[in-house]
Chains A and B, each alone.
Chain A
Amino acid sequence: MAAGSVLTFVIVGRDDHPIFEADLTSKASEVVNRDDRAQYLHQFVLHAALDAVDEQIWTTTNMHLAQVDNFNQLRVSAYVTAAQMKFLLLHDGKSEDAIKAFFKDVYEVYLKVMMNPFFTPNTQITSPSVHQRIRAIAKTQLKA
């Protein structure tokens, strides 16, 4: 993947609380370079896209909403579960088919997380294994 590409995945729970965040680009590391303004810009774009998601939920019966919003070159694709958990992917022009497959695989992972009886829609998902699996899915489906 080209340097400087954008691929941020967020699961947003109830009351707009992000319960999972991952930078799925290959350059992403644990230590975040805070000088990079893109970090908070990405969050702004993803957060703003929630309004578009709310609008588009009513236009289709599919869980995959495709691209819902964009800002400059940043695009936001969304996937909404039956429990109104929103999967948002910030990218810079990935194929919709690949994104759809990515969301589908992530949904499988999410279902397993949800089976935890202590999981609530606002519970932060901090499991490293979930992180690794979603990263692996991104690598497979999105060639990240």
Chain B
Amino acid sequence: MAAGSARILVPVGASSTFRNTVAYAVRAARSGVEAGAEAATVHFVSPARGRTDSGNLGDDIAADLLDRAVVWAREDLDRDADDDPAVEIRTAIVGADRYLFSPGDYADAVAEYAAEFGLDRVVVDPGFQPGGNAPMLLPFERELARSSLTVEEAPTTRRTERVPLVSRATLSKGVATFGATYAFYLLIAGSVTPFNLATGALTALLAAAGFSSVSFLTSPSPRRTGARVLRLLLFVPYLVWEITKANLSIAYIILHPSLPIDPEMQRYRAAVWGGFPVTTLGNSITLTPGTLTVDVGREGLDIHTLTGGARDDLAAGGLERAVRFVFYGRSAARIPSPAERGSISAVDDTDTDTDTGSGGSVVIDAVAASRPSDSRASADDSDPRPAAPDAERTGDPGADRPTEPAAESGEEVE
């Protein structure tokens, strides 16, 4: 299998994780040499972009990046060299003779180059943006995998991707924060004496001034929020009932002398989007026993399931429907179950192949579930310096990815 090949191509683009990708590619090439591959080589390839009559506009930047990649790669080779295995480093700019537009164009250019030099393994930087700002890393990887290349994403440090914590302050946000805080204050105070009313108003005013732009991402509309709160009130008894039911079965399992558990990781592409709905679903999944949301990523939710029965419940999708009902209304709740949609699958821990459905040997393990544990740990440790200082934060590569659950505020529930 080509996964262990030492002939590696690395598409180059400015990103905050590129330094780690270089380190990973170089290490992979070296381990290939140690495993007996004859010609280890790492090619850093930058797609040309921004053509003008007077030459390629972005070439200076690209050349600069390529130079830096070479310096880094040499550095890693020297530092790690015990017996100095020969790893050839080369750079190139591809696609200068044509107009690169779609992910397919980029993939073709890269694949042609790979064929020319007999490279059969592509290490993609998870922050690589073929088209500048547009998030098209996944299509690019899929296109690449159509050829005979082995494609993998370099295991780099998790990038913190979230919408900015502070959003624009609007009046409705201020009013909502003020109202919620004031109501909470008076509830805790337990009386409406002038003193409490005054101090409460002051506190709520300060909270609204300070946090209204943090508590809400979008301006809450009274009607939508009201409808959601009402449906949430219906959701809570259902959730409590589910929790009780499932807790009894967990209690049975835990107290059973032979402890009949069969844990397994499942990946679940839930039909729920946006920070707050995903947080609700994730937390509800965690609350219903037997299932535990471990990670939320571009590929969906990674869920640890304790028993086969819990897996079946998850696949039946009752919770997902309920959450969709709360956030999108009743009509949205009638969708096929995750099992019927085929959007639930086991995360295999022994094999590096994560099935992405496109056949071939696509290895896109963005969540790093399946890597030998030492590789990533050392990728993080071996580079104490910050990544490329001028690394540009181009767009949001995970625009299709649910935002981090922790970044959400619970304020909206009240």
A binds B: no
Residue numbers of A with Cβ under 8 A of B are none
Residue numbers of B with Cβ under 8 A of A are none
